Chains A and B, each alone.
Chain A
Amino acid sequence: MRRGILTGERLVAVFLCGCVLFNYPLLSLFDRRVDLFGIPLIYVYVFTAWAGLIALMAWFTERRGE
């Protein structure tokens, strides 16, 4: 029971984190004409942050035991 509540809290944290990562003003920091490995920075940023959030969610929901 306790673990379920904790997982829920972690997922809410992921949600809030995502809300900040994918909105103004953080987004505007990466919205500039800079390339990373030849790929526009904003493209790299959005996909990396997105993948990171998914990894966090997977980690929080799939692991067993503490």
Chain B
Amino acid sequence: MLNGPVIVVASLLYLGLLFAIAWWGDKRADQGRSVISSPTIYALSMAVYCTTWTFYGSVGRAAVSGIGFLPIYLGPTLVMALGWFLLLKMIRTAKANRITSIADFISSRYGKSLLLGGLVTVIAVVGIVPYIALQLKAVSGSVSLLLNYPEIVMPGRSTALPVFADMSFYIALILAAFTIVFGTRHLDATERHEGMVAAIALESVVKLLAFLAVGLYVTYGIYDGFADIFQYAADDDRLRRLSTAIPSGQGYTGWFSLTLLAGLAILFLPRQFQIAVVENVNESHLKRAAWLFPLYLLLINLFVLPIALGGLLHFSGQGVDADTFVLTLPMAHHQEGLALLVFIGGLSAATGMVIVETIALSTMVCNDLVMPALIHLRGAALAEASDLSRLLLRIRRGAILVILLLGYLYFRLAGEAYALVAIGLISFAAVAQFAPAMIGGMYWRGGTRGGALAGLSAGSLVWAYTLLLPSFAKSGWLATDFLTQGPFGFNLLRPQQLFGLDGLDEISHCLFWSFFANIGAYVAVSIMRSPTAAEASQARLFVDALKYARPVGAALWRGLAKVSDLTALVGRFLGPQRAESAFADYAKRHGQVAIDALEADAELVHFAESLLAGTIGSASARVMVASVAKEEPLSASEVMNILDEASQLRSYSRELERKSRELEAATRDLKSANERLQELDRVKDDIMSSVTHELRTPLTSIRAFTEMLRDDPKMRLAERERFLGLVVSESDRLARLINQTLDLAKIESGNADWRGSALDLKEVIEQSVASTSQLFNEKGARVELDLQSGLPSILADRDRLIQVMLNLLSNAVKFLPLNAGRVCVSLRAGAQGLEVGVADNGPGIRVQDQQVIFEKFRQVGDSLTNKPAGTGLGLPISRRIIEHFGGRLWVDSVPGEGATFRFFLPFAPDNGV
């Protein structure tokens, strides 16, 4: 099953699938429905960190140094914990300044320096080339292993072959073509490739599954679990040492160096910067990545040592390279499907790395190396060209091809002599040189362009001398005398024992000397002079990235420009249509109808520059904008003033926002308080007018009768007694009115005196009926009682309830027809409480009046003449009393058929139901 055609078809199908996913992701992104706006996809895409170096190389390293491969994954785990600060700041800064690569980041930070951007690009390319060589080596190695199946034949020295007969060469070309189609189909102003990220996330899943499959197969298929493998290994003294100890050749220093190196690599490898910073769609995704990405690393490393031990046990003395165990173990056990899966997993690891890395590098080469050179050398020709976007794409495609061919070249020159891990570490040490300039740039305002240039140059020269050149020497391309004797016999300058520093492994040695030179030069040169205006302004933008509410770049430009010049300039690089639509958007955002209506102010110039920066890098963008706009230079102190104002303004505006929020809340409170007061005032007026009106009626009649008594001394005794009786009854009414008004006022103000006690409602009703029996007798009316007995008690004030009952009963009496009146008092238990009804056979109450009667001083009557006796306060008071005890009072009535007043009171809580 495993033969050439199968392998080729499987590879092509897999690459086709990736391409389909990328195409779909791009399409969705164009529609605004991003497929990668998920923190999980972000975390998975970060696993582009795991290349074939992890996939094949970890086992190779474990076979030599036991758990010595782990620091390469522990370092990133630790740094991800700091990612909350570091990556967040990088993402914010990059977004605010339209930064699209690590070269752009450093160049932009130190005053948009062309020289610095170029230097970073050169270091990155030189440093990463071995890493790309490693991917070529791994893929071509795995292909040639599979082709020899079922034999296990180590890949021969392909360097013996001419280039055109070497499979690795064609693999490099295929990868280049694939990357070109993948990453440079069109030019994007933000350099974001959503489709690519989706495909990378898928690749991460594939390589993890493939590796776990081999791990499970070796651990539980060939052996009987972890303990079993370690038991076998323990019987072999050489293997025993591997599985138990920090390797002696590495020691704790080496362990620490590797951790540090890998931690820096996760931040500063161009592909990690591309994925974690440039392709980040939402900074909150960092949260998930902080633990999911380390979890991924843990999982992919879980079975490394078992596979290494299993391979060493199985292939003992057969000359099988440990770097190939992941593939050769399934092959040796004739697991063809598994072997194919492993091959696809390795292909995933390689293509993922190559795609992202070369895209990131090609952006850097184009923006920070080729464009500045073109602008410098052929600026006039560029100014005449109408559309440079095709040129930009061609430069990037060319860069991708060149980078991959350089990788192949390194592979031919040095690759074969080295294990995978050793090659990867050379690259890690190279990108670690960015750390002082990057981290210093983000947290120290004093760092200058000169300092960064000095530090980067010194560090990378030391790196090349202590690590890169020895890698050539060890592969036989340079004389080994160079290593053992030092150049020209200078013993002190031996590259791997520089100045006689002995006893360190080569990585620790390189890391120490290169950081010594790098940090030393960076700091020393930086503190020699104070930063220039451009450096200081960029330093503030980067160091205080988390402080500014919005980018302040526009405030730092002063000068003259024309809108047409700017649009034409941007159009040349982005293509006229894209530029047109970008400027139209800008105009719309600023409330203008057309581009012509725009003013060429600092903000527009800044907008144009940031559009260009996304496409050709910030340093080139600045140069291009300067070619069409006349800038007046700002002095350092002016820049500082503007930035101070920007950050002060921000804190002022925050303070102001806080104050105005408080003010709004206070205003709202005052408003509602005022409304309540007005309402109360109105109620008070109502009551006053009602009360005075109600008081005047009895007062008027008392006054009239007493005047008649005074003015007519000859009045007959009977007449006199009748009048006096009327005076007494009107006084009673007056007193009652005053009492009830006071009572209601007390209840409403909450000052009433309530005594709650458990009481038997039936007994209360009976007493009330008894005390009103005289009233009913006078009117010749009948009272019927329909009271359920043995009911639970309720919690209320006895006197108040009697007051309610008396009120309802006396109300009923008033409306009863003479001598034919009938009142029925009922008491029923409901689910939650008791219901009392007082039904009469009076005239009833019209529907529209059924609410009115519960209002204060509102009595229902057609005219003043038939206004019923009473104060108009009885029902409102009764309703308040019932409500106070948690009940309700209402009336059911059909006009002509009498009215039934009912109230409901809940059971006392301790009674239950």
| Residue ranges of A at the interface with B (Cβ–Cβ < 8 Å) | 7-8, 11-12, 14-15, 18-19, 22-24, 27-28, 31-33, 35, 37-43, 46-47, 50-51, 53-55, 57-58, 61-62
Contact = CB atoms under 8 A, between A and B. Distances in A.
Interface stretch (B76-84, B270-278, B721-729): B76-84
A11 B256 contact: no
A38 B78 contact: no
B781 interface: no
B82 A11 contact: yes
Nearest to B256: A23
Given A11-B84, A38-B227, A54-B298, A27 B78 contact: no
B846 to A, nearest CB: 56
A43 B67 contact: yes
A42 B244 contact: yes
B85 interface: yes
Nearest to B228: A38
B499 interface: no
Given A27-B246, A57-B80, A43 B287 contact: no
Most B CB contacts (10 A, CB to CB) among A12, A14, A40, A42 go to A40
Contact of A61 (B77, B231, B288): B288
A55 B295 CA distance: 9
B246 A37 contact: no
B595 interface: no
28 contacts: A11-B82, A12-B82, A14-B81, A22-B78, A22-B255, A23-B255, A24-B256, A27-B252, A27-B255, A31-B244, A31-B246, A42-B67, A46-B70, A50-B77, A50-B298, A53-B294, A54-B291, A54-B294, A54-B295, A54-B298, A57-B80, A57-B290, A58-B292, A58-B295, A61-B84, A61-B290, A62-B288, A62-B291
Contact of B259 (A22, A32, A37, A53): A22
Contacts of A51: 298
B244 to A, nearest CB: 5
Interface string B60-86: 000000010011001001111110110
B244 A38 contact: no
Interface of B: 67, 70-71, 74, 77-82, 84-85, 226-228, 230-231, 234, 240, 243-246, 252, 255-256, 259, 287-288, 290-292, 294-295, 298, 302, 305
B250 to A, nearest CB: 12
A35 B229 CA distance: 13
Contacts of A11: 81-82, 84, 290
A61 B287 contact: yes
A28 B251 CA distance: 10
Nearest to A22: B74
Contact of B78 (A7, A15, A28, A32): A15
A7 B88 CA distance: 13
In order of increasing CB-CB distance, the 5 nearest A-B pairs are A38-B227, A24-B252, A58-B291, A57-B291, A15-B81
A39 B82 contact: no
B77 A53 contact: yes
B252 A28 contact: yes
A64 B289 CA distance: 17
Contact of B294 (A39, A42, A46, A57): A57
B243 A43 contact: yes
A20 B227 CA distance: 28
Contacts of B259: 22-23
A12 B81 contact: yes
B77 A18 contact: yes
B74 A18 contact: yes
Contact of A50 (B74, B82, B240, B287): B74
A63 B302 CA distance: 27
Contacts of B243: 40, 43
A38 B287 contact: no
Contacts of B292: 58
Contacts of B302: 47
Nearest to A41: B244
Contact of B77 (A12, A54, A58): A54
A50 B291 CA distance: 11
Nearest to B85: A8
A19 B290 CA distance: 16
A39 B290 contact: no
Given A24-B252, A62-B287, A47 B226 contact: no
Contacts of A32: 244
A39 B252 contact: no
A6 to B, nearest CB: 11
Given A12-B82, A15-B82, A57-B81, A38 B290 contact: no
B486 to A, nearest CB: 31
Most A CB contacts (10 A, CB to CB) among B70, B78, B82, B227 go to B78
A22 B257 CA distance: 12
A2 B773 CA distance: 73
A31 B245 contact: yes
B252 A33 contact: no
Contact of A37 (B227, B244, B295): B227
Contacts of B305: 43
A39 B78 CA distance: 25
A14 to B, nearest CB: 5
A35 B235 CA distance: 13
Contacts of A8: 84-85
Contacts of B82: 11-12, 15
A18 B78 contact: yes
Given A27-B246, A31-B246, A39-B230, 13 more contacts: A11-B82, A15-B78, A22-B78, A27-B255, A33-B240, A35-B230, A38-B230, A39-B227, A53-B77, A54-B291, A57-B80, A58-B291, A61-B290
